[in-house]
Amino acid sequence: MAIVFKKTSVLTDTIMHYCPGCGHGIVHRLVAEALEELNLQDKAVGVAPVGCAVFAYRYFNVDMQEAAHGRAPAVATGIKRVLGPESCVFTYQGDGDLASIGAAEIVHAAHRGEKITVIFINNAIYGMTGGQMAPTTLVGQRTTTSPYGRDMEHCGSPIRMSEMLATIDGSAFIERVALNSTANIQRAKKAIRKAFETQMAGKGFSMVEVLSTCPTNWGKSAVESMDWLESSMIPYYPLGVKKEV
Amino acid sequence: MAKQLMKGCEAIAEAAIQAGCRFFFGYPITPQNDIPEYMSARMPKVGGCFLQAESEVAAINMVYGAAGAGARVMTSSSSPGISLKQEGISYIAGAELPCVIVNMMRGGPGLGSIQASQGDYFQSTKGGGHGDYHLVVYAPASVQEAIDLMQTAFDVADKYRMPVLILADGIIGQMMEPVEIKQGNASEPVKKDWATVGWSEKDFTRPRAVVNSLYIEVEELEELTGRLQARYAKIAEEETRVELYNTEDAEFMLCAYGTVARICKTAIAQLKKQGIKAGLVRPITLWPFPYKAVHDAIAAPSVKKALCVEMSAGQMVEDVRLAINGEKEIELLGHSGSRVPTAEEIAQRIIQMRGA
Amino acid sequence: MAMVTINEERCKGCGLCVRICPKKIMQLSETKLNSKGYHPAEVTDMEACMACAACARTCPDVVIQVEK
């Protein structure tokens, strides 16, 4: 019998600590597979964030650094400048990390055309700290710090990072994808590959925003969460390529 | 090589390059802009990289990444900027990464002033960022000493895998002095098999590298902090530096560091003319603080009284008092607000102490 | 002939594979519990499996292997 699907060796055998049905595991696999397929494992250095993916360095079977909250693009900049164009440097960041506390770092990494790849997980909430409102939380969405639902008058509307970063000259490839269907998961994988290829070709900054779920803090089952992603998140965060040079 | 006239900031930058530093990440702030400016011109010529970050916060995190990838790397700033870097410095200490940080102190708190100050002693020696850690802190008193300490700073950072701080002030940074910078003096690169440079299972010569300061289990974090404390004890034993000046038979002992120590030397010369014997104990490492040397200098039977002089409201004086542990009274001549004490003022104070 | 192997011990019983399977031949076991207390996923009708691996690709814990 031929293998149709088996776990890539660019993921370690460590059991992931994520809650049942959390999208992080899916994205970890896609990133690891992309690195394997592009033969980049021994050139890769990953930067883990603060957030649920804080332990990403346990799961990616590549050299890793753990950054302070929001600072992953700056850390990745330091690494890339030292290791040079042969290296493949990526960050893995959540929406609190990237769109809130790390807003300056991500904007300026893109602005410099930093030749790194950013994997941005948008699940519209702070997961690790217990479900607080993120800049990406949808209007009306209830979180532990927006118990009456996000009020646009009070705290603004959800931020669309991909569209914003696409306006910056230094960004070379930006795409938003989602995990809600087999086809979309395949598209996500393709986008992540494309982002790594963009980096290795020296074209500039690349980012893939992945719409993902947080069943635990959304108060939904894993299955309901995927359905909510589809019905509520995708209409506000349209999928597709936002920038390609 | 003949001596040349150089400004402190530029001399420090060139000394870093000669010490093998090839990566600099910084952000503009007065009075240290000459360092990044010099680096921006020099780094491309030596195959290095100067990058102006979007903030001090980003700059120190770039240092983290570069240090984690095995490079000799530094950053510089001045007091408010160093405050912003504290988060990153704590992470660098926790992740056991070597790097050099230069602080050209200016007046504070807040925006303070842009004149020289020594108000960051507490921040530099007692923590600064969160957690149980230390930096090795060197306090040069001349441009030449700053140059010489740059090489030491990089070597000590690599040897102990920790951040090292050069704590100077705006005066050292801005003044010009005749100096000599040894060319091509860089020490042999230290092997950094913990650095993240790319790894695969094909390469079993080392384990997968993970640069990290997160230890979620109590036992694991305690193992790290225990390792750090053991290292700090060794550093205190081996790296403590102090200068003793005219201490023999001195009746009055001054204690000061950096620029102020130089002014004290002038005061000592003035006092000598009046037949008053004063000496100076000058910590060169502020951490580890030279407790024993400071104690022995002040506790000497010939010493009647001791005076700590600082460009702060009194910060190092606490360590001096700890060193002497109540054996003698330590007086303080402290100026904050960036006012520089004069030699006459110091001499006058000693004369007052003599009469009292 | 397809074969789906599920590492039941590492399965967290989230049900995403059940949701995504185009043949609707996956379920969370009603009888089995793994040591973490989860009902692991299982295939109800292996004969009907096309080995499309949609289940494996949606599995966040990468516990499914598919052969054909």
Q: Among partner residues B53, B55, B199, which is closest to A62 by beta-carbon distance?
A: B199
Average pLDDT of chain A is 98
Residues of C in contact with A182 (CB under 8 A): 20, 22, 52, 54, 57-58
pLDDT, tens digit, 9 for 90 and up, residues A100-135: 999 999 999 999 999 999 999 999 999 999 999 999
pTM for the whole structure: 0.97
Spatial CA neighbour of B13 closest among B92, B94, B60, B74:
B74
The string over C2-14, giving b where at least 16 C-beta atoms fall within 10 Å of a residue's C-beta and e elsewhere, is bebebebebbbbb
Chains in contact with A, where contact requires at least 3 CB pairs less than 8 Å apart = B, C
CA torsion through residues A62, A63, A68, A72, sign: negative
Tokens coding B157: 């950072």
Which of B86, B196, B213, B214 to probe by mutation at the A interface, max A CB count within 10 Å? Answer: B196
Q: Radius of gyration (Cα) for chain B, nearest Å? A: 21
CA of A17 to nearest chain C CA: how many angstroms apart?
9
pLDDT at position B2? 84
The CATH number of the structural domain formed by B243-355 is 3.40.50.920
**In chain A, which ranges are E strands?**
3-5, 44-48, 63-66, 88-94, 117-122, 171-178, 205-211, 240-244
Query: What residues of B are in the A interface, CB distance below 8 Å?
Result: 23, 25, 49, 51, 53-55, 57-59, 61-71, 73, 87-88, 91, 95, 196-203, 208-214
Q: Are A24 and A51 in contact (CB under 8 A)?
A: no
Q: Which two tokens stand for residue C49?
A: 């499996």
Q: Which tokens go with A50?
A: 């603060």
Given C3, C14, C52, which is nearest A21 (Cβ)?
A: C14
What ipTM score was computed for the predicted complex, to two decimals?
A: 0.97
Q: The domain at B4-179 falls in which architecture?
A: 3-Layer(aba) Sandwich (3.40)
Q: How far apart are CA A32 and CA A185, in angstroms?
A: 14
Alpha carbon of A240: minimum distance to chain B alpha carbons (Å): 29
Work out the percent of chain A whose per-residue pLDDT is above 70: 100
Residue whose entry in the numeric block shows the structure tokens 């700890």? B322
Q: Is A185 on the interface with C (CB under 8 A)?
A: yes
**Residues B14, B8: Cα–Cα separation, whole Å:** 10
pLDDT of residue B110: 95
| CA atoms within 13 Å, Cβ hemisphere of C44 | 11
Nearest to A71 among B61, B68, B196 (CB): B61
What are the angstrom distances between the C-alpha of B117 and each of A41, B8, B104, B175, B209? 49, 16, 9, 14, 41
For residue range A44-87, list pLDDT tens digits in order: 999 999 999 999 999 999 999 999 999 999 999 999 999 999 99
Query: Out of A68, A79, A111, whose CB is closest to B68?
Result: A79
Token pair 């708190």 is found at: B109
Chain C residues with CB under 8 Å of A11 CB are 62
Residue of C nearest to A12 (CA): C62
In chain C, the residue whose alpha carbon lies closest to the alpha carbon of A220 is C14
CA gap A102, A117 in Å, rounded: 15
Let me know if chains C and A touch, i.e. at least 3 Cβ pairs under 8 angstroms.
Answer: yes
Nearest residue of chain A to residue C60 (CA atoms): A25
Chain B hits for A42, Cβ within 8 Å: 198-200, 202-203
Tokens representing residue B130 in the block: 């969160």
How far away is chain B from the Cα of A56, in angstroms, using its nearest Cα? 11
Task: List, by residue range, all CATH 3.40.50.970 domains of chain B.
Answer: 4-179
Residues of chain B short of pLDDT 50, as ranges, are: none
d(CA B65, CA B112): 31
From A179, which residue of chain C is nearest by alpha-carbon distance? C58
> Using CA of residue B217, residue B218, residue B224, residue B227, what is the dihedral sign?
negative
- Select from A12, A69, A71, A86 the residue whose CB has the most chain B CBs within 10 Å, as the one to mutate to test that interface: A71
Report domain extents, chain A: 24-244
Other CB atoms within a 10 A radius of the CB of residue B109 amount to 10
Measured distance CA(B108)–CA(B117) in Å, rounded: 8
Dig out the tokens for A61 from the structure.
Answer: 């079977």
pLDDT above 90 for A201? yes
Distances (CA, A) of B153 to A35, B20, B69, B261, C11: 38, 11, 19, 21, 51
Q: Verify B-C touch: 3 or more CB pairs within 8 A.
A: no
- What pLDDT shows up at residue B200? 73
C14 touches A: beta carbon within 8 Å: yes
d(CA A196, CA A206): 8
For residue B202, the model assigns a pLDDT of 66
Per residue in C2-60, pLDDT (tens digit) is 999 999 999 999 999 999 999 999 999 999 999 999 999 999 999 999 999 999 999 99
Q: Please provide the CATH number assigned to the domain covering C3-67.
A: 3.30.70.20
End-to-end CA gap in chain A: 42
Assign residue C10 a region (left: φ > 0; alpha: ψ between -120 and 50; beta: otherwise): alpha
C58 touching A (Cβ < 8 Å): yes
- Return the pLDDT at B141: 98
Contact B199 A63 (CB under 8 A): yes
Residue B166 corresponds to which tokens in the numbers above?
Answer: 């050069």
Give, for B12, the enclosing helix (H) or strand (E): helix B8-18
Cβ(C1)–Cβ(C61) below 8 Å: no
pLDDT number for residue B204: 62
Rounded Cα distance between B141 and B11, Å, is: 14
Query: Within 13 Å and on the Cβ side, how many CA atoms surround B255?
Result: 32
Cα dist from B9 to B36, B79, B169, B183, whole Å: 9, 15, 10, 17
| Token pair belonging to B347 | 């001499």
Q: Tell which residue, B134, B199, B140, B128, has the closest CA to residue B167.
A: B140
Cβ-based interface (< 8 Å): residues of A facing B: 9, 41-45, 47, 54-55, 57, 61-68, 71, 74-83, 87, 104-105, 107-108, 111
Q: Hey, of A13, A36, A43, A81, which one would you mutate to test binding to chain B, going by the most B CBs within 10 A of its CB?
A: A81
Cβ neighbours of C61 in A, within 8 Å? 15-16, 18, 25
* Architecture of domain A24-244 in this structure: 3-Layer(aba) Sandwich (3.40)
In 3D, which of A231, A242, A238 has the Cα closest to residue A180? A231
Question: Taking CB atoms and an 8 Å limit, are A185 and C58 in contact across chains?
Answer: yes
Rounded to a whole number of angstroms, the CA Rg of chain A reads: 17
> Please, are residues B190 and B55 in contact by the beta-carbon 8 Å criterion?
no
Residue among C2, C14, C54 minimizing CB distance to A222: C14
